[in-house]
Structure 1
Amino acid sequence: MRIYFFRLNVLLLTLFLGVSISLEAQVNNREREASAGINTFGDPPRLVVGIVVDQMRYDYLTRFWDHYGKKGFKRLIGDGFLSKNHHFGYAPTSTGPGHASVYTGTTPSGHGVIGNNWYDKYTDSGVYCVGDTSQSSVGTTTNAGQHSPHRLMTTTITDQLRLHYQMRSKVISVAIKDRGAVLPGGHTANAAYWFEGGTSGHWISSSYYMDALPVWIQEYNASKAADRYKEVWKLSHKPDSYVESGPDNVPYEGVFSGETSPVFPHDLPALWEANGGYDLLKATPFGNSLTLDFALEALEKEALGADEITDFLAISFSSTDYVGHMYGVNSKEVQDTYIRLDEDLERLLKELDRSVGEGAYTVFLTADHGVSPVPAYLSDARIPAGYLYKDKMRERLEEFMSFTYGTTDLLKGFSNNQLFLDHDLMRNLELDPEYVSAQFAEELMKYDGIYKVYTSGQLHNGSFTEGIEAALKNGYNQKRSGDLILLPPPAHIDYSKTGTTHGSPYIYDTHVPLIFYGKGVVPGSTVRKTYIRDIAPTLAVMLGIAFPNGSTGTPIPEVLE
């Protein structure tokens, strides 16, 4: 027995000494690395390229997969990391909130961008998410440049990058849509540029960023670079190969002015004048191509990724949204737009390899929201779907208010499926706002097209952690949101009967791709549920910088080395 305990003690002592020596070796190794100037956190990428594809559903990856080449989406996914179960986790799912959420790491409840437009209950007026009349247009004589991020209440990952490097990092943001450029750039971007259509076809900006366009942009605009896309839009593959989409001529799709049916080819030169000139390009895949052309010009002229201090290029491809709204999920136009986007992604990656260096940059790709299938198409397929008729709803509400309260003035505003009540009037009438809200909710539940109604008190005080209620709570901002939030049934939208839209907390609007690729990324995939608010924290860990100051997301550990 004594021999047994002796051997046991020797074994334990050996293990203890082994662990101690190992720990000491690790500590000494870290000290040697530190004294030698070795960064134990790893070197950050020289350039981060953030890509937001406007209105991209997740199933556009899988549905069109066989049509993609090997060096666009397939390269990003094959050599990168794919989140297959990635969602927004809030509503409204629209462009302004989407871009803000991607870059701030939080939801509208935190960053305050509660829609593209919304009713401002303090000024009794409608506001635009990036509209700013205190700024002047740069590069145009119109008011198309009067924009800034002043309504964004938190910092972005691009802000934190600039702060980390004492403003030595360069941040450039590019999109056809002004909000798709302004919000990703954050408050401190060196520049944000967007496309002015009409007779201009120029890239413009705001006095928030600069007093005048850089010379290289003036020369680029003068070259009429967008003119190369004034061509006939034909299917890029054989028409009979587009079996993943419906017939070309169906009643569910919109048409350009001057067309009699929504069919290929679309003769852009013939349609030019009747459809706003250069604005016509926005609703074609050529809008994405001209966006990339300009982004690559910025990459070169601004020398992005040219040194060891990380720069950031934010690109939003907006034309996918214009095409989707006009033609709908099941259209050949949408399919062809994504096939051509895949070619543009290949072009982008090839140029990044050349100018920055393969393995020296990081890319992420996601969307700002998904989209609903066209309800008229679903209805014809015997799937429950329909449309909202808000004018009739408002008429009925006015009758209710007149009968119940003796006035129709209690309703001050209606935006993004939210009702705003007049609190001053309620005080004058000695009405309890919570009781009035409950009465409105009870009345609204009687209406066709209303599935659920929530009061602001329910969302503010409720402990919702999952499901529709949690999504609505994450989209509710106490300072800016309304008194009642209306939820239509699934596949019911406030839109025309051709084309489609988005904005709901339903899965067709929330499920989007998330791909990480390049330096610092572990190749792989996950079906674990991730959220749009997780992107910025993941980047912050990868870059070794502070999280955006309102961030509520969680880094995705599977992505990181």
Structure 2
Amino acid sequence: MKSLIAIALLASAALGATAASAQQAPAPAIPAPAPAPTRTAPPRLIVAISVDQFSADLFQQYRNHFTGGFARLLTGAVFPSGYQSHAATETCPGHSTILTGMRPAHTGIVANNWIDQSVARADKTVYCAEDETVPGSDHTSYTVSDRHLKVPTLGEMMKNARPATRVVSVAGKDRAAVMMGGHKVDELWWWDGKTYASYAGRAVPRAVQRGRDAVAALVARAQAPLPLPDFCRALDRPITVAGTVYGQGRFARAAGDLKAFRASPPSDAAVFAIAAGLIQDMKLGRGRDTDIIDIGASATDYIGHSLGTQGTEMCIQMDQLDRTLGSFFDTLDGWGLDYEVVLTADHGAHDMTERQQQHAMPMESHVSADASIKAVDAAVAAALGLKGPVLLGAEGDVYLARGLSPADRARVLAAAQTRFAAQPQVAAAFTRAQIAAQPMATTPPETWTLLERARASFDPAVSGDLLVLLKPRVTTIETPAAGYVETHGSPWDYDRRVPILFWRKGMAGFEQPLSVETVDIAPTLAATIGLPVHGLDGRCLDLNPGAGDTCVR
């Protein structure tokens, strides 16, 4: 819809609006649909979607219930076993692989946060999408930046080869927008907790301002419970964790509650509404060269962390996201655009420990405080007669304190590795020397050793001196608390496996059940638009089997 597309999609997609309120938006002027493209013609628009924390397990659980956008994607090229093949299965590293074709060892994005003891501020933790040189910043109050992404994205490659290409990135998280968009973007916007933001000094496009206004009006009103689909009723069971009951939520929200909005289906609908508005206003997909828009749907991750994956909350989210995608694709169809879609995820996830224990998973456990960096640091310092801290940590990476002498560094590293490895919940503790000496794996990702998975996440410039990996089904959450009951980040397949779905009008659908990687997405999309790419970790996937290989060999 011309100037009100954002509001129209918000009203129709997962916002609990009445049919009457949706009808109040002006009807769009819909041109004739585009004819089915020929096999050799490149699409005019690439739509790259990441659903944060959309595991292959979640996809498999709900694929038979999809009737909207996901159902459409299931008629295309379906890869149910895509791999974020590295060990550090977090949001920032995962998003860095999707459109670069490179693993975190090459993107430089080894985690959401890491330690850099050389930074000129008291806070030595660095956030993956910040500029830590900005005075007065810290890793939780930062200036968003692409400085740590070491490689170009597909959008950058397209723009370098064909300067008329437009590159747009919109997401529910800054790190998703930045890592998918890259360094050369025409528009880049994310939800900052209060509104949709971008880099300082950028003018606010009309589509973004419409989205801002629509969301502000929405959040100002209380949200009634969203409907519970019939297929969700089997999951309508309570579970109490840390004094809070989960499993039966329906996203009722008090007026003004921005945090609840972020962890709900309407936040994804808003992102797609803004994306659609930018496509319309910027006339993406109508220029002489192929354009690309990257869309990061973040609500699934926020819902998973705060509410778990196996209650009514996630079931409603899957249903509403399916509807939102369907509305979005229908809108693009109505505009007559020739577009190609890829949808995947930055990582998987594992449901809350307490519910998994009820679901015949007695080996499920929270990590013990004895395995924490703080506990091991204190024990190693005491055993060696050193003044602590001697160890610093972020995520699974452990760093030796900068002031240690070479001799003490060797002693601390050996003692820390021994102590971590002795913990009953620890699967492995690798030194940076061990990881660096490991060649990059070339076999299918499900066969990789832990050391090979660690190597794919290792960058000597920012990675730790020791990497600690927990055993399967041991969560890094020591003590669950309201708002954080489930997580990810492990090297195990429930966190590594994600779906990869390609769709374009007229393509012959098929399903390939064997493993592929998210780094295969960029070279595959590049092949569909005739863009030569070289030196990537990923390989091109043939999306046209039996009708001539689309990949350049």
TM-score range, shorter chain: 0.7 to 0.9
Aligned to 1:182: 178
State the AA in 1 paired with 2:514.
R
Question: What pairs with 1:91-106 in structure 2 (closer than 5 Å)?
Answer: 91-106=87-102
Secondary structure, aligned partner of 1:251: strand
**Taking structure 1 as reference, are residues 95 and 394 closer, same or farther at Cα in structure 2, changes over 3 Å only?**
closer
Q: Secondary structure at the match of 1:451?
A: strand
Contact 1:226/1:290 (8 A) holds in 2: no
Match of 2:59 among 61, 71, 80: 61
Counterpart mapping for 1:415-430 below 5 A: 415-422=394-401, 424-427=403-406, 430=407
Q: Do 1:376 and 1:497's aligned partners in 2 also have CA atoms closer than 8 Å?
A: no
Partners of 1:266 and 1:212 lie apart in 2 by 33
- Taking the TM superposition and a 5 Å limit, the aligned residue runs for 1:409-558 are 409=388, 411-422=390-401, 424-427=403-406, 430-431=407-408, 433=410, 436-463=412-439, 465=441, 466-495=448-477, 496-497=479-480, 499-518=485-504, 522-547=508-533, 551-558=536-543
Q: Distance in 2 between matches of 1:485 and 1:364?
A: 33
Alpha-carbon offset, residue 214 of structure 1: 2.9
Shift of 1:378: 2.2
CA shift at 1:438, angstroms?
Answer: 3.3
Alpha-carbon distance change, 150 to 74 in structure 1, aligned in 2, over 3 angstroms = same
Q: Deviations over 1:189-242 (max 9, x none)?
A: 1111012334xxx322113xx532235534553455651794435343445x32
SS in 1 for 2:99: helix
Which residue does 2:158 correspond to in 1?
A: 161
Aligned mates of 2:41, 2:430 — CA distance in 1: 48
Per the alignment, in what secondary structure is the counterpart of residue 405 of structure 2? Answer: helix
Equivalent residue, structure 2, for 1:298: 278
Q: Is the 8 A contact 1:194 1:204 kept in 2?
A: yes
Are 1:369 and 1:509, in contact at CA under 8 Å, matched by a contact in 2?
Answer: yes
Partner of 2:16: none
Cα 1:432–1:336 shift into 2, 3 Å: closer
Higher-helix-fraction structure: 1
Q: Within 2, Cα distance between the matches of 1:327 and 1:400? A: 35
Matching of residue 242 in structure 1 with residue 241 in structure 2: no
Question: Is 1:108–2:101 an aligned residue pair?
Answer: no
Equivalence map 1:47-86=2 (5 Å): 47-69=45-67, 71-78=68-75, 80-86=76-82
Q: Following TM superposition, by how much is the alpha carbon of 1:382 offset from its aligned partner in structure 2, in angstroms?
A: 4.4
Equivalent position SS for 2:404: helix
* Unmatched 5+ stretches in structure 2: 1-37, 442-447
Q: CA deviation at 1:49?
A: 0.2
* SS of residue matched to 1:232: coil
| 8 A Cα contact 1:248 1:264, kept in partner | no
Q: Match of 1:343?
A: 323
| Whole-Å separation in 1 of the counterparts to 2:292 and 2:42 | 12
Quote the offset at 1:353 in angstroms: 1.1
2:299 to 308, 313, 319: 319
Matches within 5 A, 1:16-415: 42-69=40-67, 71-78=68-75, 80-123=76-119, 125-132=124-131, 146-166=143-163, 168-198=164-194, 202-207=195-200, 210-218=201-209, 220-222=211-213, 227=218, 230-238=221-229, 241-243=231-233, 245=235, 247-252=236-241, 263-269=248-254, 272-273=255-256, 277-357=257-337, 360-380=338-358, 381-390=360-369, 393-394=372-373, 396-409=375-388, 411-415=390-394
Residues 193, 254 of structure 1: alpha-carbon distance in 2 compared, 3 angstrom cutoff: farther
Deviation at 1:557, TM superposition (A): 2.4
Question: Counterpart of 2:498 in 1: which secondary structure?
Answer: coil
Q: Distance in 2 between matches of 1:539 and 1:440?
A: 44
Q: Deviations over 1:111-156 (max 9, x none)?
A: 01111111124327111111126789xxxxxx98831211101111
Residues 220 and 386 (structure 1), Cα distance of their counterparts in 2 relative to 1, 3 Å cut? closer
Q: Secondary structure at the match of 1:86?
A: strand
Maintained 8 Å contact 1:410/1:426: no
- Tell me how far 1:414 sits from its aligned partner: 0.3
The TM-score, its normalising length taken from structure 1, stands at 0.81
Higher mean alpha-carbon deviation, 323-332 vs 416-425, is at 416-425
Inter-partner Cα distance in structure 2 for 1:479 and 1:438: 21
Give me the whole-angstrom Cα distance separating, in 2, the residues matched to 1:407 and 1:183. Answer: 40
Distance 1:297 1:254, change over 3 A: farther
Residues paired across the two proteins, number? 491
SS in 1 for 2:239: coil
Taking every aligned residue pair, what percent have the same amino acid on both sides?
A: 26
- The letter for the 2-side match of 1:303 is K
Q: Shift of residue 518 of structure 1?
A: 0.6
The CA distance in 1 between the partners of 2:352 and 2:449, in whole Å, is 24
Residue identity opposite 2:130 in structure 1: G
Please say if residues 181 and 316 of structure 1, whose CA atoms lie closer than 8 Å, have aligned partners that are also in contact.
yes
Q: 1:393 to 1:217 in 2, by over 3 A?
A: closer
Residue by residue, what CA displacement relative to the aligned partner does 1:346-394 show, whole Å, maximum 9, x if unpaired?
Answer: 111111112243xx21000000100012222223434301112347644
User: Deviations along 1:303-343, whole A, 9 cap, x unmatched?
Assistant: 11112311111111001111111111211100110100000
What is the distance in 2 between the residues matched to 1:44 and 1:253?
53
The CA distance in 2 between the partners of 1:354 and 1:395, in whole Å, is 56
Give 3-state SS (helix, strand or coil) of 1:169's partner: coil
8 A Cα contact 1:253 1:262, kept in partner: no
> Following TM superposition, by how much is the alpha carbon of 1:411 offset from its aligned partner in structure 2, in angstroms?
2.7
Contact 1:105–1:550 (CA under 8 A) maintained in structure 2: no
Looking at structure 2, the residues matched to 408 and 112 of structure 1 have their Cα atoms a distance apart, in angstroms, of 32
The residue type paired with residue 531 of structure 1 is: E
Task: Tell me the CA shift for residue 299 of structure 1.
Answer: 1.1
Give the aligned residue type for 1:280: A
- Aligned position for 2:3: none
> Counterpart amino acid of 2:366?
Y
Computed over aligned residues only, the root mean square deviation of the Cα atoms, in angstroms, reads 2.8
Counterpart contact for 2:400–2:409, Cα < 8 Å: no
- In the other structure, the counterpart of 2:31 is none
Superimposed CA distance per residue, residues 246-273 of structure 1 (whole angstroms, 9 cap, x where no aligned partner): x332114996xxxx7663444313xx45
Whole-Å Cα distance in 1 between the matches of residues 246 and 402 of structure 2? 49
Does the 8 A contact of 2:82 with 2:517 survive in 1? yes
Q: How far off its partner does 1:182 sit? A: 1.4
* Conservation of the 8 A alpha-carbon contact between 1:131 and 1:146: yes
Paired residue type of 1:451: A
Q: 1:372 to 1:222 in 2, by over 3 A?
A: closer
Structure 2 CA distance for aligned equivalents of residues 432 and 129 of structure 1 = 26
Which amino acid is 2:473 matched to? A
Summarize the Cα distance change of 1:130–1:254 in structure 2 as closer, same or farther, 3 Å threshold. farther
Paired letter, 1:204: A
C-alpha displacement at 1:451, in angstroms?
A: 2.0
